Amino acid sequence: MRLPGKTIDKTARSWDALHTWSWRDLAGHLGLLFWCWGISRAHPSDYFSVLRMFVGIGRKLQERPDLWGAPAKIWCSAKHDLDRWTHAVIENVPRDVLPTTPPHLLVVTDASRWGWGHVALDTTTGALHTHRDRWPPGIEARFGALLRRSVVSEPQAIVLAMYRLLSKDGPKRVRIACDNVAAVASGRRGFNPRSFPLNWCQQRLRRIFGDSWTFEFLHIAGKTNVADALISRGQKVEVFRRENDEQSEWLRLQVGNGHDLTRDQPISPSTR
């Protein structure tokens, strides 16, 4: 699958007129890039500085609609990424369309200041995988006390869980449940224009696994998250032994159904 020639020509003509852009022209060009995203390999998560500029300019023009016709001034921090994004669209590298398949892996993740963890079910083999660990030194050094904020720690837990569970072989589909609304929303959109950690999560998943893996995101209430407290805070969890199928059945029914678990749902005391 690739973009039609008419779209590529329109994007190229817009880019050629860069030095004469008004704010309206810039908005139109950004609109083209976002529209192409659904088909091209150029993904917004790879151009975070452009996303930040998009949000900043949007606020400015909302407050001052009289500036739409004024000459545009592209942020210095965004020029390089805007150039890369535009030329990635113009190159129009075809993208494979993966067949729709049931999820091969059902995963619930959670994070805290202590560390991160996951509970995962391989729907093909029936194997139940659990893991908990302290934050790696690199993440600890980069984010430090910010890991107390779920909007920072939850995306890191998702990426670390995928690193541990997946290989680059595919194509396969993963369904991830998380109790952080922002992480879920960013996962569904594929990028986040306001938060670097959330955008970084999507960027890393794409760079490591490419188009061979498809990631679905669900929201799960914290009270029903089997990875919460028991896993991500370092406590020993004897109930998560392989011969116990209770958690496997819970994952099949609750995460495997593909619906957000925003309401408290009954869960056995042994899993809390």
109-144 pLDDT per residue, tens: 989 888 998 888 888 888 888 888 899 999 999 888
Pairing of strands 105-111, 115-122: antiparallel
Mean pLDDT score, 160-175 = 81
Tell me the whole-structure pTM to 2 decimals.
0.73
Structural tokens at position 159: 């990426």
128-134 β-sheet, strand order: 128-134, 115-122, 105-111, 172-178, 213-219
DSSP 260: -
Mean pLDDT score, 187-195 = 85
Tell me which CATH code domain 105-271 carries.
Answer: 3.30.420
Say how far apart CA 193 and CA 53 lie, in whole Å: 9
pLDDT-based confidence at residue 79 (cuts at 50, 70, 90): very high
Identify the pLDDT of residue 102: 84
* CA dihedral sign of residues 119, 227, 114, 146: positive
DSSP string, 39-101: TSS--GGG-HHHHHHHHHHHHHHHH-GGGTTSBP---HHHHHHHHHHHHHHHHT---PPPPP-
Q: Who contacts 132 (Cβ-Cβ below 8 Å, separation ≥6)?
A: 115, 116, 117, 231, 232, 234, 237
Asked whether residue 16 carries a pLDDT value surpassing 90, the answer given is yes
Say how far apart CA 252 and CA 106 lie, in whole Å: 8
In sequence order, what are the beta bridge partners of 108?
Answer: 119, 177
pLDDT-based confidence at residue 94 (cuts at 50, 70, 90): confident
User: pLDDT tens digit string along 28-75?
Assistant: 999 999 988 878 878 888 899 999 999 999 899 999 999 999 999 999
Q: Are 231 and 161 spatial neighbours (Cβ–Cβ below 8 Å)?
A: no
Say how far apart CA 122 and CA 145 lie, in whole Å: 34
Say how far apart CA 260 and CA 272 lie, in whole Å: 20
Residue ranges of domains in the chain? 5-91, 105-271
Share of the chain above pLDDT 70, in %: 86
Asked whether residue 228 carries a pLDDT value surpassing 80, the answer given is no
Say how far apart CA 233 and CA 227 lie, in whole Å: 9
Say how far apart CA 259 and CA 108 lie, in whole Å: 14
pLDDT-based confidence at residue 15 (cuts at 50, 70, 90): very high
Can you tell me whether residue 209 is helix, strand or coil?
helix
Q: What is the 3-state secondary structure (H, E, C) of 157-205?
A: HHHHHHHHHCCCCCCEEEEEEECCHHHHHHHHHCCCCCCHHHHHHHHHH
Mean pLDDT score, 197-208 = 85
Say how far apart CA 106 and CA 254 lie, in whole Å: 10
pLDDT-based confidence at residue 272 (cuts at 50, 70, 90): very low
pLDDT-based confidence at residue 255 (cuts at 50, 70, 90): confident
Identify the pLDDT of residue 268: 36
Mean pLDDT score, 103-108 = 90
Asked whether residue 20 carries a pLDDT value surpassing 90, the answer given is yes
pLDDT-based confidence at residue 212 (cuts at 50, 70, 90): confident
CA atoms within 13 Å, Cβ hemisphere of 140: 9
pLDDT-based confidence at residue 93 (cuts at 50, 70, 90): confident
Say how far apart CA 46 and CA 84 lie, in whole Å: 9
pLDDT-based confidence at residue 229 (cuts at 50, 70, 90): low
pLDDT-based confidence at residue 267 (cuts at 50, 70, 90): very low
Structural tokens at position 234: 């370092």
